[in-house]
Copies of this chain bind each other. A is one copy, B any other.
Amino acid sequence: MPVDAPWTRWIEQNEQALIDRLREAVEIPSVSGEASYRPHVHRMGQWLHDQLVKLGAEIRAVNVGQQELEGQTLDLPPVLVGSLGSDPKKETILLYGHYDVQPALMSDGWKHEPFTLTHDKETDRLYGRGSSDDKGPILGWLNVIQAHKETDTEMPVNLKFCFEGMEESGSEGLEELVVKETKGEFKDVSATCISDSYWLGTTKPCLTNGLRGLSYFSVSISGPGADLHSGVHGGVVHEPMTDLFALFSKLVTPQGKILIPGINDKVAPLTPEERKLYEALDMTVADLEGAVGGKVVISDDKVDALMARMRYPSLSIHGVEGAFSTPGAKTVIPASVKGKFSIRLVPDLEPEEVGKLVEKYLEDEFAKLGSKNSFRVEMLHGGKPWVSSVDHWNFRAATKATELVYGQTPNFMREGGSIPITLTFAEALGKNVMLFPSTSAVSRARSRTTKADLLTHSSRLVSVAVGRGDDGAHSTNEKLDKSNFITGSIALGQYLHEVPAAAAAAAAGEGQQQ
């Protein structure tokens, strides 16, 4: 049965006004990664603050400090923290989203001015930076709140808000704030809903219940006092590059098998139930080949390929610092090089534990080389994997809402990437966290690969590609299908309406799991 209520009708009937509000948001180029755009990020924070207040929410713009960027000291954009409603008889849902965006220039290959929302009537798509990531989803919540207000419909839950402006640049200052607010604003939170991800494919709704963690390593090998000429010293000295290649060739096989003892043993075993989840997923090996832009998918089996991404660890060699890296031909012997690689983590792999295993293994293997060069390995940073049971009332409510609004049972999926703040919410609040995408994968634009982006996002890079093959040209054109914006808003709202019953049933003891 389709959802039909005064508030849903109001959303459908006021579609144009809601698109116009999205247009206002997109027109503010709140790029968090570039110093010159920082005033716009603050302006965007103010705009969102005012919108929420106008809808009756109590909002604080929390100053989370400063940062050094491009040689300047900049105020970090405020984190908007607040609430709507405080009825002790209702569940309290914490909503997370971000109002900053990735950079975008016409010269990157946009068809339309990226900071002007362009409604393509033919495809009924809304093009513009932030339309999908993540202004669209945030405004989806505003749509829901306004619809209830305009139609005098009582909100079924209390809401808490946590909207940041630094997500594209490492979420600086956010973790400390969340931890602090666990005893404050977020004290009574029953569950968290993050709407900053995407469906796996283009047609099948998804709920995300897992993310891989990360351990990132830098291995330094040094010998000579300065770069040498390979004519003069080639053959005379132990070369750091030779040692590095010998060492890194022992990390992983071309088939992706990690060779570091102890890593694979610690992966939680696959259950038949879990395997069924991957079999049900709306993606083929051909889709994956399209996503990566080449026929280089290791496994020809869809389930194996998806599990390699979602539930098994992986090791990637990213590059070498200190060696010759530009076009042309230099005959240099680099004196000191740093090899960089990282391992994606899944339960039950802990970053610290993985760090110890890697350190021990590389030290043993380096000793075997019999080189007089010096060697050092350090773990630059680590993030734990996150997996939530989909058997929690939070997921049940979203499942029910999805079934009602889209007429389909959602796929449950785990992400290959890492969104550290998810784990912070889960651990700091001790309550269930769910990623509730309201937008299809292809709506997300390719992002610049800033460090922050790469460490916090998996969404955009895959979204570029799904169904696009290697057509990178369009990947810049971030858009949101109007249907995702309108129907997506209704799905988010319906989820809130399903929370009370789902929570009550769980409280009554039906398979509650944390």
Contact = CB atoms under 8 A, between A and B. Distances in A.
A43 to B, nearest CB: 29
Contact of A223 (B294, B331, B418, B465): B294
A451 interface: yes
Contacts of A312: 235
A42 interface: no
A272 interface: no
Nearest to A372: B296
A325 to B, nearest CB: 4
Nearest to A216: B329
Contact of A416 (B216, B231, B242, B251): B231
Interface in A468-488: 469-470, 472, 475
Contacts of A416: 229, 231-236
Nearest to A285: B236
Interface stretch (A116-124, A132-140, A452-460): A452-460
Contacts of A256: 235-236, 238-239, 242
Nearest to A288: B236
Interface string A301-342: 000010011001111111111011111111111110000101
B470 A234 contact: no
A457 B380 CA distance: 39
A225 B293 contact: yes
Contacts of A71: none
B462 A229 contact: yes
A369 B254 contact: yes
B331 A231 contact: no
A252 B369 CA distance: 12
Nearest to A454: B331
Given A216-B329, A309-B232, A370-B254, A340 B324 contact: yes
A291 B381 CA distance: 37
A227 interface: yes
A232 B319 contact: no
A374 B374 CA distance: 34
A462 B325 contact: no
A329 B293 contact: no
A63 interface: no
Contact of A231 (B212, B218, B223, B451): B212
A331 B455 contact: yes
B417 A231 contact: yes
Given A216-B331, A325-B320, A329-B455, A254 B233 contact: no
A373 B297 CA distance: 10
A224 B296 contact: yes
Nearest to A246: B249
Interface string A193-231: 000000000000000000010101010001111111111
Contact of A458 (B226, B229, B324, B381): B229
Nearest to A461: B229
Interface string A353-385: 000000000000000011111000000110000
B239 A317 contact: yes
Contacts of A216: 329, 331
A73 interface: no
A423 to B, nearest CB: 14
A327 B451 CA distance: 11
Contacts of A245: 245, 248-249, 251, 317
A241 interface: yes
The 6 closest A-B pairs by CB, nearest first: A225-B293, A225-B470, A231-B417, A235-B314, A319-B324, A249-B249
